[in-house]
Amino acid sequence: MQFDPRVPAPGAMQVPSTGAPWSPPLPYNEVMHSLRRMSDLAAAGENLMPVAALPLYPRLLGRSFAALLGPVRALYFITGVRAARGLAVLRPSTGLLARLLRLLLGMPLSVGEMGLSLRVEPWRGAERWQLCFGTHAVAIEQRPLPYGLLGERWRLVELRARVLVEDRALQLRPAGAALRLGPLSLPLPLGLAPQLTAEVRGSDSSLHLRWAVRAPLLGLICSYEAELGVDDGARGKSSHGEK
C-alpha cells in the first residue's frame, strides 16, 4: 500500500494551526478520558476540537496510545522533565556523502558501544530532546504536523514520520523531510529526502530503541540501537500501575 501523507494515523487527533494558543498538558487521567471521548465523537461522525493541551504523542496517536506498554508510555507521556539512560550501539555510515549528512544532523561519527542519556521536556506544544552519546551532545525538537505526522528536527533538517502502534510498540515510518531555517520550512522531494524509521519496545523495566536514517542512493546515514531505563519516578507518575 502506498503511503499517503494526507491520511492521519488511526485515532490521530487534529493538530491546531501554528497560530493556535498553546495550553499546558493535562493530567494523565484527564488525557485518557479526553482520548476516549474524542474517539467516540469521531466514531459518531462529529467534528473534533483541537487538543493542544494533550502531550505530543497521545495527541498524535489518539486512543492507540493506551495500547503501548507501560515503560513506553512513561517515556512518551511528557508533562514535565523526563530522563532515561543506558547503553547504545552506533552503526557506521555507508560512504563519504552519508558521513557528511550524518555531520549535518549532528550525530557523532564514532561507532560502537557507548553510554546514552536523554532528557525530554515539553516546550510550547512540542518537545525538546537532549541526547548524549558518550560525551557527544545532540539537541532535537519534536513537533506535531498536519495530518497526524511528527516532525523531528536535527539542526537544519526536519525528518518527518507517521506515528503508529504495532504489537504494543511505538513505530515511526518515513513521511518525508524538510529544510528548516527559523519559521521557514522547505519540503524536500521524496526521491531525495532522508527517511526516518524507529521502533521503541518495552519490557518490565527497560526500553529497547532502534533508530535509523537512510537516504535514496546513499544508503544508511546513521543508526543506533539502545537499551534504556526510564527514571522510576517518571514511570510511576505516567503509567499508574498499568502494564
Kindly tell me if the per-residue pLDDT of 166 is higher than 90.
yes
6-10, 45-49, 98-102: the lowest-pLDDT one: 45-49
What is the structure's pLDDT at 193? Answer: 96
Whether the CB-CB separation of 224 and 88 falls below 8 Å is answered with: yes
Question: What is the end-to-end Cα distance of the chain in Å, rounded?
Answer: 32
pTM of the predicted protein model: 0.77
What is the structure's pLDDT at 18? Answer: 41
Q: What is the mean pLDDT of residues 30-35?
A: 57
Kindly tell me if the per-residue pLDDT of 17 is higher than 50.
no
Q: Would you list the DSSP string of 140-191?
A: EEEEEEGGGEEEEEETTEEEEEEEEEETTEEEEEEEEEEEEETTEEEEPPTT
What is the widest separation between alpha-carbon atoms in the chain? 53
Q: Which domains does the chain have, with CATH numbers?
A: 1-243 (2.40.128.20)
In this prediction, residue 47 has a pLDDT band, given cuts at 50, 70 and 90, of very low
Give, for 209, the enclosing helix (H) or strand (E): strand 207-215
| CA atoms of 79 and 181, how far apart (whole Å) | 27
| CA atoms of 5 and 11, how far apart (whole Å) | 15
Q: Residue 114 pairs with which residues in a beta bridge?
A: 88
Q: What is the mean pLDDT of residues 100-125?
A: 94
| Higher per-residue confidence, 52 vs 43 | 52
